């Protein structure tokens, strides 16, 4: 499993052969490849930065699902797990996200796949509250967070369909649902992991493909589709043809030096 750090250069192009093209609007550069130690390999479902060099990660599979921190993520020699918290053998873990509540404290949320349960945790990954996934949401898949016009934290959740659900963490109820469609009106299904980027749009990987959709989360408008087939091929060239499962399971972003940095985790 590789952690691959990429700069997405929106509206910029280069003749440099190390710059790859994901769409007519987006090019990217592979910044670094970090292979995790064997004891840090998981079926990753949720991944976001808790601090500058600490990742919050939720994992799947029955009997192996947990949430933990990955510390020193940029240091190949010091990378390690912290505060591992299993969620129970009866659960298949899915996406996670962190928000700051109105009191300035960190709240962490984690979904389960088919069990219709979600968990609110504190910054020490201790259970605060067990939540019911709202009935409108078919299954728990991806999750990210953003702040609305009033400055309140909101969660954005996917369920493997073409729908995105805006959920208020204060009562964990759906406040708005939008549908994403292709130009021909066909539903863009299998929206999976989500991340809000700097311009307020959301990146959503399309499960079982090397594609990432850029979407306006407020009206569901499809703004772009990014094709990372070249990235898959680049990883295969390093690891060899035995490397299979050509899909993105995670997409993460954060602002660094005014560039949009994306981290994709390949199973």
Domain boundaries, given as residue ranges, for the chain: 2-10+17-257
Q: Which of 66-70, 178-182, 231-235, 241-245 has the lowest mean pLDDT?
A: 241-245
More confident call, 98 vs 230: 98
pLDDT at position 262 over 60: no
What whole-number distance in Å separates Cα of residue 135 and Cα of residue 117? 11
CB atoms within 10 A of CB 32: 12
**136, 212, 209: which is closest to 180 by C-alpha?**
212
Q: Quick one: pLDDT band at residue 164, thresholds 50, 70, 90?
A: very high
Name the β-bridge partners of 9. Answer: 27
pTM score of the predicted model: 0.83
Q: Distance between CA 28 and CA 20 in Å, rounded?
A: 5
Fold of 2-10+17-257: Hemopexin (2.110.10)
**Mean pLDDT value across the chain:** 81
Cα distances from 88 to residues 49, 92, 173, in angstroms, run: 24, 9, 24
Beta bridge partners, 150, equal none
Find the distance separating the first CA and the last CA of the chain, reported in whole Å: 6
Per-residue pLDDT for 92 more than 90? yes
Does residue 169 carry a pLDDT above 70?
A: yes
CB 118 within 8 A of CB 110: yes
Q: For residues 253 and 58, what is the distance between their CA atoms, to the nearest angstrom?
A: 16
Measured in degrees and rounded to the nearest 5, phi and psi for residue 209 equal -140, 165
Confidence band, pLDDT 50/70/90 cuts, at residue 176: very high
Beta bridge partners of 60: none
Percent of the chain with pLDDT over 70: 76
Please tell me the distance from the alpha carbon of residue 256 to that of residue 267, in angstroms, as a whole number.
Answer: 25
């Amino acid at each position: 499993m590789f952690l691959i750090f990429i700069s997405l250069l929106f509206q910029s192009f280069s003749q440099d052969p190390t710059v790859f093209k994901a769409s007519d609007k987006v090019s990217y550069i592979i910044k670094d490849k970090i292979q995790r130690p064997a004891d840090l390999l998981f079926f990753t479902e949720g991944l976001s930065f808790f601090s500058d060099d600490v990742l919050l990660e939720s994992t799947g599979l029955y009997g192996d699902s947990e949430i933990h921190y990955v510390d020193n993520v940029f240091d190949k020699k010091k990378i390690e797990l912290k505060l591992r918290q299993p969620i129970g053998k009866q659960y298949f873990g899915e996406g996670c996200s962190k928000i700051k509540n109105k009191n300035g404290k960190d709240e962490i949320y984690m979904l389960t796949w088919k069990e219709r349960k979600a968990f609110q945790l504190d910054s020490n990954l201790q259970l605060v509250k067990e939540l019911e996934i709202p009935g409108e949401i078919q299954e728990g898949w991806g999750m990210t967070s953003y702040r609305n016009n009033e400055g309140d934290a909101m969660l954005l959740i996917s369920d493997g369909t073409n729908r995105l659900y805006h959920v208020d963490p204060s009562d964990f109820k759906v406040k708005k649902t939008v549908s994403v469609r292709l130009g021909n009106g066909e539903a863009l299904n299998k929206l999976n992991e989500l991340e809000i980027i700097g311009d307020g749009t959301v990146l959503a990987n399309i499960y079982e493909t090397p594609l990432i959709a850029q979407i306006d989360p407020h009206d569901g408008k499809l703004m772009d589709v990014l094709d990372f087939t070249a990235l898959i091929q680049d990883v295969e060239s390093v690891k060899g043809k035995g490397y299979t499962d050509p899909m993105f399971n995670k997409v993460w972003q954060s602002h660094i030096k005014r560039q949009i940095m994306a981290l994709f985790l390949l199973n």
